[in-house]
Amino acid sequence: MLVPASAAFATTTDPTVDIVDISPNPVKVPRGGETKVKIVVEASPDVDKVEIAVEPADGQVRTFVAKEIGNTEKWVYTVSFNGNDPAGKWKATALATDVQTSKTDSDRAYFYVEQAPAGKLDTRFRHFSANPESVKKGKKIYFAGRLQVNDEGWHNASGEKVNIYYRQSRHSGWKWVARDWTDRHGRFYATTKAWKSGTFKAVFAGNDELNGSTSGYEYVRVKRSWYSHH
């Protein structure tokens, strides 16, 4: 008797499963908040069900079961971490099942969880700008921004030192160019001379009470000093 090719395939192959991505990694959990982690799995076509379990690598704490949020071309799961979850190395285990044959396959992947230091408050740059966006070489670039701290809600951070860094276009290194201290409204201002086109960022290094933070990037185009529009 001839057996259809599809049936023959089903009886001679085993299901396969692979964890192809865990992001973000490391998982950085903010103080008083939570971070959602996405786990992406690839499985062979004969797989009907994939289960994901997440636990600390030492296996001594409760196990999470990830929630499935999609299974189109890939199986996608999500699980959330908060301040109650231990920092360190974690393990994700995927178990795939072919319901028709009851055959299974599994895969493991590891990632890390980082908790914000206890007792410190998170900070953020509510605003940062570098102006003008296009400037002649040797002229001034003006920086302005606002630093905030999360103390049961976002409030302006006063008296904190903010440094401004510059990265020239097509270069990887950052150089310090200016600094200022925030006023009672969390605002800071600084200037530097335009040299070459590049990107600027504001950085608060943090201290014993506050976590550090970095602003978004601001690009400034520097024109040759003799160039002008007519």
> Does 123-223 match 15-115 at the fold level?
yes
| Alpha-carbon gap, residue 134 to 126, rounded angstroms | 23
Which class does domain 15-115 fall in?
Answer: mainly beta
| Structural domain spans, the chain | 15-115, 123-223
The 10s digit of each residue's pLDDT in 123-149 is: 999 999 999 999 999 999 999 999 999
The one-letter amino acid at 193: K
Residue 27: the pLDDT is: 95
> What's residue 58's pLDDT?
85
Task: Give the model's pLDDT for residue 9.
Answer: 43
15: CB partners within 8 A, 6+ apart: 43, 44, 46, 47, 96, 97, 98, 103, 104, 105
Topology classification of domain 123-223:
Immunoglobulin-like (2.60.40)
Contact 178, 166 (CB under 8 A): no
Helix (H, G, I), strand (E, B) or coil at 142: strand
What pLDDT, on a 0 to 100 scale, did the predictor assign at position 24? 94
Q: Which segments in the chain show pLDDT lower than 70?
A: 1-12, 60-73, 225-230
Please tell me the predicted confidence (pLDDT) of residue 94. 92
